[in-house]
Amino acid sequence: MIPLVPTQNYLILAALLFCIGMLGVLVRRNALVVFMCIELMLNAANLTFLAFARDRADSLGHLSAFFIIVVAAAEAAIGLAIVIAVFRSRGTLNVEDITIMRH
């Protein structure tokens, strides 16, 4: 059976998503936007694993994608807790203003 969408298209999309996320991490200064860009990069990695799993008809890629989803959920929960704590103590979410992690 010939797939309707070639694997190369998925990989190009994943590379594009990863580059957008990397650019967002490097350029943006808001901590919430940086966390969203990291999530975008993790989703690009998921897309890559799933594209190769589909191409090889292997379930190992699905297992890897599930593990990345779990890590992304933990990162979002812990990261959001840290962002809330920093905002309460500093009053800002600008990454450049948060240089010292002590009172």
Domain ranges of the chain: 7-90
- Distances from the Cα of 40 to the Cαs of 6, 35, 57, 80, 101, in angstroms? 22, 9, 25, 16, 26
Mean pLDDT of the chain: 87
Average pLDDT over residues 57-83: 88
Who contacts 41 (Cβ-Cβ below 8 Å, separation ≥6)? 17, 18, 21, 22, 25
6-36 tens-digit pLDDT:
889 999 999 999 999 999 999 988 888 888 9
- 7-90 to CATH, choices 3.30.470.20, 1.10.10.10, 1.10.287.3510, 3.40.50.20: 1.10.287.3510
- Judged by phi (left if over 0) then psi (alpha if -120 to 50, else beta), residue 30 lies in beta
Residue 102 has pLDDT above 90, yes or no: no
* DSSP H/E element including 81: helix 60-90
